[in-house]
Amino acid sequence: MAFTLFDNSGLDSPIGVLASDRPNPLEFHHQLAGYRATALAEDNQLADDLGCEKVWLKLELRRFGLPSFKFLGASYASYLVLLRRLDIEKLSPSLDDLAQRLSKQRQFRLVAATDGNHGRAVAHFAGLVGLPSKIYVPTPTAPARVEAIRAEGAEVVVALADYDAAVRQCAEEAGDHDVIVSDTSWQGYEDTPRDVIEGYQTIFAEIDDQIIRRSVQSPTSLVVPAGVGGLAAAGAKWISRQTAPRPSLVAVEPTTAACVTVAAIAGRSVSLSDAQQSSMVGLNCGTASPVAMERLRPVLSATMTISDDEAGQEVRRLAGIGHEVSESGAAGTAGLRAAFHRAPDAAAAVFGARPIVVVTEGVTDPVSFERIVGRSPSPVQEDE
């Protein structure tokens, strides 16, 4: 398991300036029914274990009734791509207005590939504006995840191979009235994945507010689980706007799907040749998103790769302190712990005394949770 350090000393100005025609993501999410900021909790157990002053957890376990942060990017990007398809440039209609306008058109359909959460979030947004959706998932995908996407009203297509294959199949099969909402980019398809990254800024706007309200010293590092790198890229934008000394940014990946690490070393996105089969399902991606890497690379301090066992141990520990999460959700704290274990001096220098970790997912596969923790997950409280 590797802790790889990168040189980010060239970063001198904020990255990813929001185009003036884009709504502010936090304001956009605020006006949607069901918005609430997620909690910023302290993990004193982990802080004690690592010898840190504090470890914060940004708990992205529930957003708009879905069990991860993904709706933030999917909703913002779906909204903007639909405005473009309708040639609405200046207005910012409400979702009800948008649904009304859409009902007068030949029907669009939202399509996406996903390793779980993104597709479910796109399908949920489609339902809110009265559109059908078609979501491509890799083989294998846990039945509970497929069912959750179907329950949003989507048609689910099980691709013959891994996440990258699902992305390709989705792009190839899209017809004229299909609107692709992908969280990863490829040549000629970049606006929507950039908007997805932008939508994640809401997490960081909330963190700013939570840190200021508590009058505590700011975080020294940000730790995020990475799949195609979109969430990490959003973190990079946030970090680039902080005053010096800026927090360092560490992306955590499964050892078997370390596409962000490979892209950061190579200086470009490279497709991994092996199929990705980590239990950290949301991170099972073989190719980093080029638009994410553009933002991420100048800011990235380090990446950490971890095993499924390490993620599982953190699922168990976090459940013990009241946070029920998936293996992907636990990857950030697992990476932090593993780095301190393997390279204590380098880890102390990179993470500093006050890391903040984004815990990206609640329980999405109860069978897997029960196998790891030895009990079933608690029923979800909708107002958590």
Residue 231 binding ligand PLP, by CB under 6 A: yes
Q: Does 226 bind ligand PLP (CB under 6 A)?
A: yes
Kindly report the number of other CB atoms within 10 A of residue 338's CB atom: 24
Contacting residue, 82, 170, 228, 334, with ligand PLP by CB under 6 A: 228
Residue 279 interacts with ligand PLP (CB under 6 A): yes or no: no
Q: How far is the CB of 165 from ligand PLP (least distance, A)?
A: 16
By CB under 6 A, tell whether 276 contacts ligand PLP: no
Helix residue spans in the chain (DSSP H)? 25-30, 44-50, 71-85, 95-103, 117-128, 143-150, 163-173, 191-199, 201-214, 230-240, 259-266, 290-296, 308-320, 327-342, 344-351, 366-373
Closer by beta carbon to ligand PLP, 116 or else 247? 116
Q: Which pair of structure tokens corresponds to residue 2?
A: 């590797």
- Binding residues for ligand PLP, rule CB under 6 A, total 21
What's the CA angle centered on 189, arms 182 and 271, to 5 degrees? 75
Using DSSP bridges, classify how beta strands 133-137 and 155-158 pair: parallel, antiparallel or unpaired: parallel
Rank residues 98 and 198 by Cβ distance to ligand PLP and give the closer one: 198
* Residue 269 interacting with ligand PLP (CB under 6 A): no
Six-digit token pair at 308? 């499924």
Q: Which of 25, 119, 138, 227 binds ligand PLP (CB under 6 A)?
A: 227
Q: Per-residue DSSP letters for 104-118?
A: TSSPPEEEEE-SSHH
Distances (CA, A) of 98 to 109, 126, 191: 14, 11, 20
| Binding segment (CB under 6 A) for ligand PLP, from list 83-91, 109-117, 149-157, 203-211 | 109-117
In terms of CB distance, is 347 or 358 closer to ligand PLP? 358
DSSP 53-64: S--EEEE-S-BT
Q: Could you say which residues in the range 241-260 bind ligand PLP, by CB under 6 A?
A: none
Closer to ligand PLP by Cβ: residue 122 or 129:
122
Instruction: Looking at residues 115 to 144 of the shown chain, list those that interact with ligand PLP (rule: CB under 6 A).
Output: 115-118
As measured in angstroms, the least distance from the Cβ of 107 to ligand PLP is 27
Q: Contact between 329 and ligand PLP (CB under 6 A)?
A: yes
**For residues 185 and 290, is the Cβ–Cβ distance under 8 A?**
yes
C-beta nearest to ligand PLP: residue: 282
Between 52 and 224, whose beta carbon lies closer to ligand PLP? 224
Q: Does 225 sit near ligand PLP (CB under 6 A)?
A: yes
Q: Which is nearer to ligand PLP, 219 or 235 (CB)?
A: 235
Q: How far is the CB of 363 from ligand PLP (least distance, A)?
A: 11
Q: Does 304 bind ligand PLP (CB under 6 A)?
A: no
When asked if residue 328 is in the footprint of ligand PLP (CB under 6 A), the reply is yes
The smaller minimum CB distance to ligand PLP, of residues 131 and 293, is found at: 293
CA distance 111 to 39: 31
Residues 352 and 52: their CA atoms lie apart, in Å, by 8
Sheet strands side by side (includes 155-158): 155-158, 133-137, 109-113, 178-180
Burial 49-87 (b: 16+ CB within 10 A, else e): ebebebbbbbbbbbbbebbbbbbbbbbbbbbbbbbeebe
Q: Of 98 and 116, which has the nearer Cβ to ligand PLP?
A: 116
Residue 172 vs residues 122, 158, 269: alpha-carbon distances, Å: 18, 15, 20
Is there binding between residue 16 and ligand PLP (CB under 6 A)? no
Among 202, 220, 360, 368, contact with ligand PLP (rule: CB under 6 A): 360
Residues lying near ligand PLP in the complex (CB under 6 A): 68, 70, 115-118, 183, 225-232, 282-283, 328-329, 360-361
